[in-house]
Amino acid sequence: MSLNFTVSGRIAQPVHEVFEAVADPHQLSQYFTTGGAQGRLETGATVQWDFADFPGVFPVHVTEVDQDRRIVLRWRAESGDDTTVTMDFEPLADGRTLVSITEEGWPETEEAQKVSYGNCEGWTGMLCAMKVWMEHEINLRDGFYK
C-alpha cells in the first residue's frame, strides 16, 4: 500500500471557469505557480511549473484531461518518488464547483511520508489561493513566501 491523500474545496464559480483556471497556464500563474507556468494542461503534454518557494522548474506530465471533469498529472516529488495527482471538478447544484485533489504513489517510508505532508499542505494552499483569486481577484500567494 502506498501513501495518499485527498483535499477538497468549493469555488463559487461554474465548473468550466474553475477547470480553465487550472488548465490555462496564464491563469494558473496568477494565483499558484509563483514563478510561472508554461504549457496548457492537455493529455500527453509535459508542461513546466515554477514556484518561488521551491526554486527550479518542475516538469509536469499530463496523463489525462477530461474537459471540465478531470486532470491527471505525474511528477517527481521532493522525495524522488513519482506520484500521480488527480484533480476532479464537480459542478454543484448551487452553481459552485467542488474541486478534489488526490496525490498518491509514495512508498511507505518516513521520508516519503514527510514529503507527502508537505504536498498535502501545498495542494490545500493551491485550493485556498484559487478560491480567493477566482472569487475576489486577490493573489493570496503574493509575497507569502518571500
Whether 142 is covered by a domain: the verdict is: no
Q: Kindly state the cell numbers that stand for 21.
A: 483556471
User: In the prediction, which pLDDT does 34 show?
Assistant: 83
Diameter of the chain by CA atoms? 42
Q: Which residues of the chain have pLDDT under 50?
A: none
SS3 64: strand
Query: Which residue, chain included where needed, has cell 464547483?
Result: 97
Whether 27 is covered by a domain: the verdict is: yes
**Overall domain count for the chain:** 1
Distance CA 36, CA 27 (A): 10
Whether 103 is covered by a domain: the verdict is: yes
User: In the prediction, which pLDDT does 1 show?
Assistant: 60
Distance CA 41, CA 38 (A): 9
Write down the pTM of the prediction: 0.93
User: In the prediction, which pLDDT does 35 show?
Assistant: 85
Q: Rounded to whole angstroms, what are the CA distances from 121 to 76, 105, 114, 117, 124?
A: 17, 17, 11, 6, 5
Whether 47 is covered by a domain: the verdict is: yes
Whether 145 is covered by a domain: the verdict is: no
